[in-house]
Amino acid sequence: MAKTNTTELLEALAAEIGDNIYIDIAKWHLYLSNAKLHTVVAEQLYPLITSKAVTEDQVIQVLESISVKIGGGRRELPLIDLLPLQCQVNLVDILERYQREM
- Asked whether the predicted pLDDT for residue 2 surpasses 50, the reply is no
For the entire predicted model, the pTM comes to 0.90
User: Do the domain assignments include residue 88?
Assistant: yes
The residue range of the domain holding 40 is: 6-101
User: Do the domain assignments include residue 1?
Assistant: no
User: pLDDT tens across 28-46, in order?
Assistant: 999 999 999 999 999 999 9
Residue 20: alpha-carbon gap to chain centroid: 9
The pLDDT, as a whole number, for residue 93 is: 96
- Judge whether 88 and 59 are in contact, CB under 8 Å: yes
Identify the band that residue 4 occupies on the pLDDT scale cut at 50, 70 and 90: low
Three-class SS string for 26-71?
CCEEEECCCCCCHHHHHHHHHHHHHCCCCCHHHHHHHHHHCEEEEC
User: Do the domain assignments include residue 42?
Assistant: yes
| Residue range 93-100: mean pLDDT, rounded | 94
User: Do the domain assignments include residue 73?
Assistant: yes
User: Do the domain assignments include residue 13?
Assistant: yes
User: Do the domain assignments include residue 90?
Assistant: yes
User: pLDDT tens across 70-91, in order?
Assistant: 999 999 999 999 999 999 999 9
**pLDDT cut 90: percent of the chain above it:** 85
User: Do the domain assignments include residue 70?
Assistant: yes
User: Do the domain assignments include residue 37?
Assistant: yes
- Number of domains composing the chain: 1
